[in-house]
Structure 1
């Protein structure tokens, strides 16, 4: 279908508006693409952003945090979430059905790109406004053009790359894992989360090969209070543009080859294969409790390992952080005092983070998704007790957490060669208790919050801010008194502190206080699960059911049409009698 040039803009505007409405109706997307960069900026600014780096001009450290985290917001909105949304639409057949409408293909893709760019610009605007209002961030009119050009060019580049990856990769979980993994790793090696560390030369060379480092450099130059001129650095902008051209070429090739249509899964053979043993019952008695539990653990393990995005964020991502964060912050052998080196510190905290992602985020979300699909409701019709099913999920999450711990321990030993800590048995015990508690609290959240997307937003939206105030991602930062008090209320900081003390080369007493708080949260979680967990999804009442409920509340059995005086249509013999009379 051809569209007149003067009619293309309204079509594109309407499609952008449609995509924006869809994004606004998905709170998780707004939280992850806009909320998290803003939360990271606020937390880091509150912790270290008010440090004055120049007494003469009053320049604060936030002046250099804002452009980096604003760039992170752009890449998350225009690269990660654009690719994830497009891949999901492709896998579910939405994109295929849309291409069968009169709407041009360029409008379909352009609408998604436009909505993602607006989302990224919203993230940048919020960070800059909060920085100016709350942390004395300075903006300069001389560099306004550089900021606008950098944001628009980088947004188009990341959008083109995101579309290309979404069309080249096959399944949404793989797209989510790859795009988020690339974005977060590039953010670390491009200096987004590095405040005072120095990136190694080899890592810096890798970062310069990708567009994010160039975007951060130009954006930082535009907000640099000591720079002069327009801050338009054409060499860096040229690299960003080249990546945009390459991404656009790949995306156009994928679109022209029809890759926006999901590849059909191979059909399995349905021919019956009768066997003599199928006629005999496999067991004559009720299976024992431990066999039921083992089966549920195996089932939950299969669910967790089949989700590529969950495996990445729960297992691979903590391993990457153990390798990257100490490397860019002075080396893993940096002495933190108290018999603790930087490599051991982040090995302990990343193990806690990985267990929290597995037990508190991924497992409850998977359970909520099964509840929405009616799987849990059908399970109630089987001999499987609900308690055994939930226990299987908890044990499965614990197994994945222990595997993550083992991988981190091996990696830290190979990279940083720390001495064997005397408190490692205590550390393993506290890790098991913490991971189990995270799983129980996650199930409690799934008991109170019913939708799968809402569960993910609640758990992930709670975990990430707590990581910044619970000594997970930062070390040796003095928190404000209020924030410090709040952090000790939750089990995450107690788990992190117990683990870091256990990997110290100096023997520490058993952490009874931390254990008591963690077990207290486990008890609260068990009470919530026993009281409010439901296997059936909660459905909103339809207008018809709400009307029926209101009628029942009135205590009247007559139809609403009689009560309101409405005329009901005539059917059957009554209509025939009237016709004969006429």
Structure 2
């Protein structure tokens, strides 16, 4: 035995004893350094607990129990699923594709310890999410922790974490790339949350959606947790729901064990920002600019093409900008039937609301993410040394955001007109297009301003989503009833462009509205925000490069 082997054997027991807490701590620190993961796991459920509780106020059930008593569990379940399913799946895929898992396997640390550390970290983060929501609910909204059901709550939470973790590992083992894992994790979790008593609690779902939710574990986790917060006698255990969680846990563990691999499967990790600059660099450096070449139209067209190419390589952005709004437009009218919102059918109202969301998320979240990715890769600095003017790069990004926004609106129109009786007067199409174009310019400018102000690229999406999603809620984009918002919330929302873009689109798409559908007052506010953001982005242009 060589000296190195003897030294390794001598150190191995000590290394093993210290490896689990050390690797667990490392995983927790990595989570804290990932603003987007922290946002969806901790900030997102907490923000919506506060918003929904504020809107509901002091409403009670038929038994006199405050409605807020039943709001903690669905948001807690979502936080647990984010930490134990999405985070575990994506984190495992990242470690595998970057070669970290393979290198860890060559260390004295046993492979099972490496996986146990990731599971322990996700469990700790999920526990923090539940504790945070519970404390805020108890302190701010008089939520009661039912003492006689606390053991049931702890057991349900542990089984839910185990189930989500096993399924997250299983998902990571059956996908080849990080991008596919991330897109599938979010693409599965968020739609399922709507049919699993997480985002829509107590509603009568259509039979097919109800069956789908009942077959999958998230609904059983949500209902079992809700039972532990139901005031009254009893132990709070839900044997049927817990049995389903155990079955899915065993299934996920079996798949993970059979398919788990340590070696990268999809080649090198995607370098999207670098790929996006290949086109601009080649087009601008292949030959010096000569009279008649490099026209503004050609420069702009090239930048639009490469910006759209970057979006096509990001399925998660495409999902949230195009697929997700279409799913909501199809789901909400199916669930709530003939409910009306501010004098309109739900489908008619949601068509305008989700069109505003599509435009906002494309311009304010997706577009600046691509710009910041290029900045982090050094692309924008190198671009300054080419014949391509920087303004054409930015113009290409903004136009690409407009194209994607228009595509999303077209998908919404197709779903609404085909299946839910949404009507759009052809004479008002110019008003719709103006609102979409001005909204896209406004939110793209705001996204560029935020990108210029933020030095850290990793925090951008957490900031933009963390601002946009609550604003969409208080601006009544995701509203599903006629109950008015408190006056303070409405006054707050009136300051920002999301609500004004919504009102402009509602005016343009209202079937019985007068005139050509132009809401000039609301459009003026959107234009003012666009001008202010462009000034900030111009002043802070150095922050973009």
TM-score w.r.t. structure 1 length?
0.84
Point out the more displaced range, 147-156 or 351-360: 351-360
Q: Is the 8 A contact 2:93 2:177 kept in 1?
A: yes
Point out the more displaced range, 282-291 or 82-91: 282-291
Q: Deviations over 1:116-137 (max 9, x none)?
A: 1111111111111111111111
List runs of 5+ in structure 2 lacking aligned partners: 1-7, 270-285
Q: Within the alignment, does 1:351 sit opposite 2:358 as a pair? A: no
In structure 2, relative to structure 1, the CA distance for the partners of 1:157 and 1:260 (3 Å cut) is farther
Q: Is the 8 A contact 1:423 1:508 kept in 2?
A: no
Corresponding residue SS for 2:341: strand
Shift of 1:96: 2.1
Q: Which residue is equivalent to 2:330? A: 323
Point out the more displaced range, 522-531 or 426-435: 426-435
In structure 2, relative to structure 1, the CA distance for the partners of 1:67 and 1:90 (3 Å cut) is same
In structure 2, relative to structure 1, the CA distance for the partners of 1:49 and 1:159 (3 Å cut) is farther
- Cα distance in 2 between the residues matched to 1:393 and 1:492: 21
**Counterparts of residues 328-347 of structure 1 (less than 5 Å):** 328=335, 330-331=336-337, 333-336=338-341, 338=343, 340-347=344-351
Q: Is the 8 A contact 2:500 2:525 kept in 1?
A: yes
- Cα distance in 2 between the residues matched to 1:485 and 1:290: 43
Q: Which residue is equivalent to 1:500? A: 506
- Cα distance in 1 between the residues matched to 2:212 and 2:181: 22
- Cα distance in 2 between the residues matched to 1:93 and 1:487: 46
Shift of 1:523: 0.4
Corresponding residue SS for 1:52: coil
**Counterparts of residues 110-189 of structure 1 (less than 5 Å):** 110-189=116-195
Corresponding residue SS for 2:386: coil
Q: Is the 8 A contact 1:446 1:533 kept in 2?
A: no
Q: Which residue is equivalent to 1:512? A: 520
- Cα distance in 1 between the residues matched to 2:15 and 2:288: 67
- Cα distance in 2 between the residues matched to 1:419 and 1:15: 56
In structure 2, relative to structure 1, the CA distance for the partners of 1:344 and 1:259 (3 Å cut) is farther
Q: Within the alignment, does 1:522 sit opposite 2:525 as a pair? A: no
**Counterparts of residues 223-302 of structure 1 (less than 5 Å):** 223-226=229-232, 228-255=233-260, 258-264=261-267, 284-285=290-291, 286-302=293-309
Out of 444, 447, 450, which is 2:452 matched to? 447
Q: Is the 8 A contact 2:364 2:443 kept in 1?
A: yes
- Cα distance in 2 between the residues matched to 1:72 and 1:104: 32
In structure 2, relative to structure 1, the CA distance for the partners of 1:164 and 1:429 (3 Å cut) is same
Q: Which residue is equivalent to 2:418? A: 414
User: Please, what is the CA RMSD of the aligned residues?
Assistant: 2.2
- Cα distance in 1 between the residues matched to 2:302 and 2:421: 39
**Counterparts of residues 20-35 of structure 1 (less than 5 Å):** 20-35=28-43
Q: Which residue is equivalent to 1:464? A: 469
Q: Is the 8 A contact 1:49 1:60 kept in 2?
A: no
Corresponding residue SS for 1:115: helix
Shift of 1:358: 1.3
Q: Within the alignment, does 1:314 sit opposite 2:321 as a pair? A: yes
Shift of 1:171: 1.7
Corresponding residue SS for 2:182: helix
Q: Deviations over 1:446-465 (max 9, x none)?
A: 11113221211211111111
Corresponding residue SS for 2:61: strand
Shift of 1:500: 2.2
Q: Is the 8 A contact 1:440 1:526 kept in 2?
A: yes
Shift of 1:5: 9.7
Q: Is the 8 A contact 1:376 1:535 kept in 2?
A: no
Q: Which residue is equivalent to 1:473? A: 478
List runs of 5+ in structure 1 lacking aligned partners: 267-279, 538-582
In structure 2, relative to structure 1, the CA distance for the partners of 1:149 and 1:196 (3 Å cut) is closer
Out of 31, 46, 52, which is 1:44 matched to? 52
Shift of 1:60: 0.7
Which of these two proteins has the greater Rg computed from alpha carbons?
1
Give the paired residue count.
516
Q: Which residue is equivalent to 2:311? A: 304
Corresponding residue SS for 1:95: helix
- Cα distance in 2 between the residues matched to 1:281 and 1:20: 50
- Cα distance in 2 between the residues matched to 1:91 and 1:212: 28
Q: Deviations over 1:444-495 (max 9, x none)?
A: 1111113221211211111111111011111434223322211111101111
- Cα distance in 2 between the residues matched to 1:534 and 1:451: 14
Shift of 1:365: 0.9
Shift of 1:420: 3.4
Q: Within the alignment, does 1:429 sit opposite 2:437 as a pair? A: no
Q: Which residue is equivalent to 2:95? A: 89
Q: Is the 8 A contact 1:176 1:309 kept in 2?
A: yes
Q: Is the 8 A contact 2:32 2:38 kept in 1?
A: yes
Shift of 1:426: 1.4
Q: Within the alignment, does 1:392 sit opposite 2:378 as a pair? A: no
In structure 2, relative to structure 1, the CA distance for the partners of 1:27 and 1:418 (3 Å cut) is closer
- Cα distance in 2 between the residues matched to 1:244 and 1:5: 31
Q: Which residue is equivalent to 1:53? A: 61
Shift of 1:71: 0.8
- Cα distance in 1 between the residues matched to 2:115 and 2:37: 18
